[in-house]
């Protein structure tokens, strides 16, 4: 029943026909696959329950063995065999299989306003947007290639993983 509702919602969002493939519709609609959405909701509920005070009234309504644990229910995807898990495919599978290896503490002192590099040295941090037209973009990339030579003590950071063309006519000293 839940999957039917999920599929119907994807159809309404995309305006697709009933014969359209569901995986494509959920991707176009921007919906998480149902099993991942349920997993997210389950994990969040466990976190919320585990952060409650031991004498909270909600905990008295729950069974004691389920109140403070993160036990999976019998039909959870993690309990299924690997062959059944492989049947459920979605565009997010590649992201889930290769998570980022960096771990960030959301409550770290270093990320609060006033402690960031941008806040401490606003005159030394410069944000540059990519030029729109092709000629200006090529000139910009060539200037980026020469930047370490012109400013050897500067640190250049980039936030996009775009691969730029390298101009071999520009000399680079080693």
Nearest alpha carbon to residue 53 among 65, 43, 38, 67: 67
119 & 135 share domain: yes
pLDDT at position 174, please? 46
Q: Does residue 92 lie in a domain region?
A: yes
Whole-number pLDDT of residue 36: 85
pTM higher than 0.75: no
Neighbours of 99 (CB within 10 A): 7
- Judged against a pLDDT cut of 60, whether residue 166 lies above it is answered with no
Q: What is the pLDDT of residue 54?
A: 73
**pLDDT at site 33:** 82
Q: Tell me, what's the pLDDT at 48? A: 79
Q: How does pLDDT run across 15-60, given as a tens digit for each residue?
A: 888 778 877 777 888 888 888 888 888 888 877 777 777 777 777 7
Same domain, 64 and 136: no
- First-last CA distance in the chain: 65
Residue range 127-150: average pLDDT?
A: 80
pLDDT per position as a tens digit, 113-136 = 777 777 788 887 777 777 888 888
Answer yes or no: do 120 and 77 share one domain: no
Q: What is the Cα–Cα distance from 29 to 10, expressed in whole angstroms?
A: 6
Q: Which residue has the tokens 């004498």?
A: 55
Contact 52, 59 (CB under 8 A): yes
Q: Does residue 105 have a pLDDT over 80? A: no
Same domain, 132 and 75: no
Structural domain ending residue among the three candidates 97, 115, 146: 97
Q: What is the pLDDT of residues 61-78, one digit of tens each?
A: 776 555 555 554 555 555
Q: Are 6 and 31 in contact (CB under 8 A)?
A: yes
Which of 46, 78, 97 represents a domain boundary (last residue)?
Answer: 97
Provide the domain limits for residue 24: 2-97
């Amino acid at each position: 029943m839940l999957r039917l509702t999920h599929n119907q919602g994807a159809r309404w969002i995309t305006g697709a026909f009933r014969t359209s493939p569901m995986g494509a519709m959920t991707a176009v609609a921007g919906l998480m696959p149902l099993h991942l959405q349920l997993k997210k909701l389950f994990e969040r509920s466990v976190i919320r329950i585990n952060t409650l005070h031991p004498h909270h009234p909600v905990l008295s309504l729950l069974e004691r063995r389920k109140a403070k644990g993160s036990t999976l229910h019998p039909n959870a995807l993690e309990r299924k065999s690997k062959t059944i898990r492989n049947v459920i495919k979605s565009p997010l599978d590649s992201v889930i299989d290769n998570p980022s290896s960096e771990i960030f503490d959301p409550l770290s002192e270093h990320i609060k306003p006033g402690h960031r590099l941008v806040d401490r040295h606003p005159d030394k941090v410069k944000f540059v947007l990519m030029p729109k037209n092709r000629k200006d973009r090529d000139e910009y990339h060539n200037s980026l290639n020469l930047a370490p030579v012109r400013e050897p003590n500067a640190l250049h950071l980039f936030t996009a993983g775009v691969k730029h063309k390298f101009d071999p006519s520009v000399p680079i000293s080693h």
